[in-house]
Amino acid sequence: MHTAVGYFLRRHQDLMDKKFQHPSSTKNLTYRARLRAFLQLFKRDDHVLVVIVADPDSMASAFAVKRLLARRVDDVTIAHPNEIKRVNNIAMRDLLKIPLQRLKSVKKASFTKFVLLDSQPGHMPELSEFSYDAVIDHHPYTTGWEAGFVDIRTEYGATASMMVEYLKAANIRPSVALATALFYGIKVDTQNFAKKAILSDVLCFQYLFKLINQNLLSRIENADIRRSELRFFRIALDQVKISQNRIYAHIGKVPNPDILVVIADFFAHVHDIGWVIVSGRYGDKLVVIFRSDGYKKDAGKLASKAFGDVGSAGGHRQSARAEIPLKNLPEDFIEGMNTAQLQRFVKKHL
């Protein structure tokens, strides 16, 4: 390993050691020792419930645990308390055939062992209803709970990376579907390595690359739109205004704010456009999506300047978002909200 990289990782781990460590932490174990400690929790007649808050990283991680425990326990059920709304996540579940159930539909008494992945008991009230035998996660430590086996590595960019290491320690070559799920989970949680990640994430990502199905991955990544949402593109094209290399569009009421993101990204592909601002009303909020070329423009700063005083707003140079409670906006602003009004309001801050 390059000296500078090695020093960085050692220094990073030293800092982590000084932070809170759960009393059951496996931090100092080797990959194989950690795997053995995890597998020793289970017996052949166990019925295991794996609990996740469903997203790409947690779904992939649960899929990996199901593979790890195959032929070692009687059965493994994966359950989640949240509704899966994002089309990409639905596509991931369906195309890769990840068996999921809603947590409210399972009976606690039917299971003998409980595993929590990519989360901790205090993150949601529904998660704290169980006593876990194992917790595996990469988020910051929380307190007030116990588990027989705890593997929390906050320096990792994705729990999926940790699960790749479990599979490798077990000498298990993941199937195409499992490899694609883990690859996508790492990709999403690290935002293509633009967010927090360490060398281990990169190595796991590299390992999986030769095992995945690129066509399946592409279908998951490009599954942004429900058929029922196509009508919002017609509205956007009817309402769009272009001025000074800027695109504005107010869509009106939307059933899901994700459609605003998809429309903004679509408009961002138009040649010679520096700004895209798309808004819509979702529930009791006005949601505004910003896109810029990121060169001399900063979408995050514009979102904060335009809407930071009346709602939550911010983001990165190329992409940003604002969510403003309708109660914080003048009544006449809401009643007469259209693309022209959006343009006038934002233009004051450009």
Residues of the chain with CATH 3.90.1640.10: 3-221
Please indicate whether residue 255 or residue 332 has the higher confidence score (pLDDT).
255
- Which residue blocks in the chain are alpha helix, DSSP H? 3-17, 31-39, 56-68, 87-95, 159-169, 176-189, 199-209, 214-221, 230-239, 258-267, 299-307, 331-335, 339-347
Nearest-CA neighbor of 23 among 137, 185, 189, 144? 144
Q: Say how far apart CA 57 and CA 61 lie, in whole Å.
A: 6
State the pLDDT at residue 106. 96
Instruction: Report pLDDT digits (tens) over 207-232.
Output: 999 999 999 999 999 888 888 889 99
pLDDT band at residue 252 under the 50/70/90 scheme: very high
Any idea which of 32-46, 128-142, 169-183, 307-321 has the lowest mean pLDDT?
307-321
> Is 80 exceeded by the pLDDT of residue 114?
yes
State the pLDDT at residue 258. 87
Its pTM stands at 0.74
State the pLDDT at residue 2. 44
Whether CATH 3.40.720.10 fits 3-221? no
* 241 DSSP β-pair partners: 248
Q: Give the distance, in angstroms, between the CA of residue 309 and the centroid of all CA atoms in the same chain.
A: 27
State the pLDDT at residue 14. 43
State the pLDDT at residue 9. 42
Q: Say how far apart CA 319 and CA 207 lie, in whole Å.
A: 30
In this structure, CATH architecture of domain 230-347 = Roll (3.10)
What percent of the chain has a predicted confidence (pLDDT) above 90? 69
Give the up-direction half-sphere exposure of residue 14: CA atoms within 13 A in the CB hemisphere: 6
Average pLDDT, integer, range 175-191 = 96
Instruction: Report pLDDT digits (tens) over 152-161.
Output: 999 999 999 9
Residues of the chain with CATH 3.10.310.30: 230-347
pLDDT band at residue 17 under the 50/70/90 scheme: very low
Average pLDDT, integer, range 280-289 = 94
Q: Do 313 and 323 form a contact (C-beta atoms < 8 A)?
A: yes
What percent of the chain has a predicted confidence (pLDDT) above 70? 92
Would you state the structure tokens that stand for residue 174, as one six-digit string?
């993941």
State the pLDDT at residue 225. 83
pLDDT band at residue 246 under the 50/70/90 scheme: very high
Mean pLDDT over all residues of the chain? 90
